[in-house]
């Protein structure tokens, strides 16, 4: 399906070269994968393939997100993204990785800020196994860890945004962190990961989404909608997309592919056709905001 009516900025995708110098342990070893068999991902994913995947739509910019490389190479990964941008004209912004609670944190952040395309950091807090499991609360790198909380404050000091990845049962804790730094620009990754669509789980997701959305500095990436063991369907995903937008408002939502990971379940074209179908009731300006302009503003893109 082809649609050139709107410009698109893909606010969250990955690139990697597993045959290059950056190591990705999760792509080179046999590890459990909650979305299914990851064998199809154990290959290079470079800008030419991304461009082929997205060719049916008017993609004018992209944001490359760190892809869990060997953490000793977090600066090198960002430099490699910048090299790809020079060679291929994409990505247009980089979200790098940095631990926030190590003696080297400020050194790493300073080095990352020397790379012009770096706009933000993704540094994942530890998470529990599921709703009701409090086993990580207060542990190192949890959202109650004073060292982790203090480190998050460095992002604003260095002029960086924060990509916050949390599953639905941790969203209320994420709201507490966002309240501590009301001037820090935060974007919730992957719609709060509503990968369990049972009513009880969606109620927890819904409550958490409402709570974190009360913080005006938090935005939402509408992405990561694949469900383990289930196919991608409009019937399953359009209601989730629409509810997330209703909660955050179209002015704080941006769409993203999470490719190539979500390519295990759906083509890039089908995903974005679903996105466009879900927002048809919004005004043309609001649709354009969600498909591109909100991401342009959040990541300070020059397009």
Q: What DSSP line would sit under 65-111, residue for residue?
A: E-----GGGHHHHHHHHHHHHHHHS--SEEEE---SSSTTHHHHHHH
Mean of the pLDDT values across residues 109-125? 97
Residue with the larger pLDDT of the pair 34 and 50: 50
Phi/psi of residue 296, nearest 5 degrees = -60, -45
Strand partners, 3: 57
pLDDT band for position 27 (cuts 50, 70, 90): confident
Per-residue pLDDT at 176: 97
Segments making up each domain of the chain, as ranges: 3-298
The number of residues making up the chain comes to 303
Q: How many CB atoms lie within 10 A of CB 130?
A: 12
pLDDT band for position 31 (cuts 50, 70, 90): low
Query: Is the pLDDT at 32 greater than 60, yes or no?
Result: no
Per-residue pLDDT at 296: 98
Per-residue pLDDT at 2: 43
Mean of the pLDDT values across residues 118-133? 94
pLDDT band for position 121 (cuts 50, 70, 90): very high
What is the sign, positive or negative, of the torsion defined by CA atoms of 17, 21, 24, 29? positive
Q: What DSSP line would sit under 165-216, residue for residue?
A: ---GGGHHHHHHHHHH-TTS-EEEGGGG-----SHHHHHHHHHHHHHHHTST
pLDDT band for position 28 (cuts 50, 70, 90): confident
Query: Is the pLDDT at 196 greater than 90, yes or no?
Result: yes
- CA dist., res. 92 & res. 10, Å (int): 10
Per-residue pLDDT at 5: 83
Using a pLDDT cut of 90, give the percent of the chain over it. Answer: 90
pLDDT band for position 39 (cuts 50, 70, 90): confident
- CA dist., res. 260 & res. 257, Å (int): 8
pLDDT band for position 37 (cuts 50, 70, 90): confident
CATH code assigned to 3-298: 3.20.20.140
Mean of the pLDDT values across residues 92-101? 97
Burial class (CB in 10 A: 0-12, 13-18, 19+), 203: exposed
Q: How many CB atoms lie within 10 A of CB 190?
A: 23
Mean pLDDT of all residues belonging to the chain: 94
């Amino acid at each position: 399906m082809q649609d050139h009516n709107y410009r698109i900025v893909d606010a969250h995708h990955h690139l990697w070269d597993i045959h290059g110098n950056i190591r990705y342990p999760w792509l080179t070893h046999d590890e459990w994968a909650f979305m299914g068999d990851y064998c199809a991902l154990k290959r290079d994913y470079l800008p030419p393939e991304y461009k082929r995947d997205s060719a049916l739509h008017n993609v004018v910019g992209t944001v490359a997100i760190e892809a869990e490389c060997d953490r000793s190479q977090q600066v090198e990964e960002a430099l490699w993204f910048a090299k790809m941008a020079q060679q291929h004209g994409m990505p247009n912004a980089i979200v790098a990785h940095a631990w926030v609670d190590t003696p080297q944190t400020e050194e790493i952040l300073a080095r990352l800020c020397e790379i012009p395309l770096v706009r933000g950091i993704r540094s994942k807090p530890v998470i529990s196994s599921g709703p009701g499991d409090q086993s990580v609360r207060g542990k190192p790198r949890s959202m109650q860890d004073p060292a982790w909380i203090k480190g998050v404050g460095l992002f604003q000091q260095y002029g960086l945004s924060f990509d916050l990845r949390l599953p639905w049962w941790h969203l209320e804790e994420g709201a507490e962190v966002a309240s501590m730094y009301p001037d820090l620009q935060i974007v919730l990754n992957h719609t709060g990961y509503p990968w369990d669509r049972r009513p009880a789980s969606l109620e927890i997701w819904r409550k958490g989404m409402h709570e974190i959305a009360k913080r005006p500095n938090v935005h939402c990436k509408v992405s990561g909608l694949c469900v383990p063991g289930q196919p991608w369907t409009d019937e399953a995903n359009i209601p989730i997309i629409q509810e997330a937008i209703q909660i955050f408002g179209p002015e704080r939502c941006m769409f993203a592919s999470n490719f190539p990971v979500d390519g295990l379940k759906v083509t890039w074209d089908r995903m974005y056709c679903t996105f466009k179908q879900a927002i048809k009731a919004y005004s043309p300006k609001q649709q354009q905001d969600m498909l591109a302009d909100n991401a342009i503003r959040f990541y300070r893109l020059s397009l």
